[in-house]
């Protein structure tokens, strides 16, 4: 793993994502090496010409910059980890994410954290001190074998379920984030049965075939799963009509789960041939 210590020019980035006014990403690159990660398409990442999952940039002046940049701004909510895992193993040493949360807490600024890392358990006491804080915990596979294909180094499903229990015990608001959902790879009902005891909110976000690295994912599926699965996915994304029909069936499945449980389940559907826009809502 190549670790680069860098100094960022700024750390608060305005965002169109409906969850917050600004985003903070204390790191760039990620040792988890998730195959589907959109961050691989970032220009700064591509310039490195390094294998995804084998490097990480550490923004060592992250907390210092944040303390300066929040001055004079009326900020209610910040999203932490919009394009990076904010709890990589290196966080144990550098503690940038912890420093960011401490700074935001002390300035009465709420934070929404998007993560799939069990390391966040370290900061649950800190996060519980400000009731507006919220965690989006990614649980997007229903088997460890499938998870390992697409997320070779991330926290196990078992670790994440245990983490959900801990978050619930601390009374921190938490939404399970099933994302990205690639048609016919994951089983929504199975994931739901794993998490439904520990959350009242679930979001399901379909994989963005325009933004993502579908060509590479196709090869992963071809090598590790049945070819029939790949054929079914290709059929779904072959035209708008097929894609819309798949979404309709998914909506019916979600409606049944809502009727049974009464939980809030949000479906996020990117357009088949477009990048994300400000019109995408996570609420």
Query: Is residue 221 pLDDT above 60, yes or no?
Result: yes
Whole-model pTM: value is: 0.94
Q: How far apart are the C-alpha atoms of 266 and 242, rounded to whole Å?
A: 21
pLDDT digit string, tens, across residues 53-85: 889 999 999 999 999 999 989 999 999 998 899
Q: How many CB atoms lie within 10 A of CB 267?
A: 18
Give me the pLDDT at residue 49, please.
74
CA 81 to chain centre: 8
Q: What's the average model confidence in pLDDT over 169-186? A: 97
What number of other Cβ atoms are within 10 A of residue 208's Cβ?
21
Omega cis (within 30) before 157: no
180 preceded by a cis bond (ω within 30 of 0): yes
* Residues 240-277 pLDDT 10s: 999 999 999 999 999 999 998 999 999 999 989 887 65
Distance from chain centroid for Cα 105: 22
Helices (H), 151-226: 157-170, 188-195, 214-224
Structure tokens at 198: 């520990």
The CA distance from 126 to 103, in Å, is 11
Using DSSP's 3-state secondary structure scheme, residue 240 falls into: helix
Q: What is the pLDDT of residue 51?
A: 82
CATH code: domain 2-268 is: 3.80.30.30
């Amino acid at each position: 793993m190549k670790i680069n210590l860098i100094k960022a020019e700024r750390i608060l980035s305005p965002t169109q994502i409906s969850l917050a006014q600004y985003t903070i990403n204390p790191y760039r690159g990620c040792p988890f090496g998730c195959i589907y990660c959109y961050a691989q398409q970032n220009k700064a990442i591509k310039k490195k010409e390094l294998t995804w999952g084998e490097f990480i940039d550490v923004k060592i002046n992250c907390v210092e910059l944040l303390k300066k940049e929040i001055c004079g701004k009326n900020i209610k909510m910040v999203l932490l980890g919009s394009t990076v895992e904010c709890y990589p193993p290196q966080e144990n040493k550098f503690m940038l994410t912890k420093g960011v949360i401490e700074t935001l807490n002390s300035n009465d600024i709420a934070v929404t954290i998007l993560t799939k890392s069990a390391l966040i358990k370290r900061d649950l006491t800190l996060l519980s001190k400000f009731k507006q804080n919220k965690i989006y915990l990614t649980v997007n596979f229903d088997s460890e074998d499938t998870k390992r294909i697409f997320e070779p180094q991330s926290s196990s499903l078992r670790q994440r379920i245990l983490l959900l229990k801990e978050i619930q015990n601390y009374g921190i608001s938490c939404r399970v984030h099933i994302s990205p959902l690639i048609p016919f790879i994951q089983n929504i009902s199975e994931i739901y049965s794993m998490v439904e005891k520990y959350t009242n909110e679930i979001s399901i976000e379909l994989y963005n075939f325009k933004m993502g690295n579908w060509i590479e994912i196709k090869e992963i599926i071809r090598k590790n799963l049945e070819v029939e699965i790949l054929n079914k996915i290709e059929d779904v994304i072959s035209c708008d009509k097929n894609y819309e029909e798949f979404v309709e069936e998914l909506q019916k499945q979600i409606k049944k789960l809502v009727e049974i449980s009464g939980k809030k389940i949000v479906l996020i559907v990117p357009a088949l041939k477009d990048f994300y826009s400000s019109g995408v809502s996570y609420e």
